Amino acid sequence: MTMKASSRQVDGVTIVDLSGRITLGEGSVVLRDTVKELSNQGQKKILLNLGDVTYIDSSGIGELVSAFTSIRNAGGELKLLNLTKKVHDLLQITKLYTVFDIQDDEASAIGAFNR
């Protein structure tokens, strides 16, 4: 399954709904291009919804980290929403669970940006 990304705006937050596999190649490129485009548009509050992401490899993890740092360096914030158990476990193993702000409820996540 290839990766798909679609964006929507809720209360000033850009929510990116991702689905499929974020792996070396197409999946990582889709994520990179999506975040780059949002950054170029001046979006500073980005919530990546990973609820339908079925698989992430080390390249996909790297792409998440890269997205996080590039948005932060541009003065914005990037948070993660709805991690599956597999993705949650991967972020825990790699200690990135402590780096990302991880949310499991969309409304709360939006609120967390606006606090």
Rounded to a whole number of angstroms, the minimum distance from the CB of residue 108 to other proteins is 25
- Under a CB-based contact definition with an 8 Å cutoff, are residues 45 and 12 in contact? yes
- Give me 46's structure tokens: 């980005």
Distance of CA 60 to the CA centre of its chain: 10
Q: How far is the CB of 90 from other proteins (least distance, A)?
A: 8
**Smallest separation (angstroms) from other proteins to the CB of 9:** 28
- Site residues, other proteins (CB under 8 A): 23-25, 57-59, 61-63, 65-66, 68-69, 86, 90, 93-96, 99
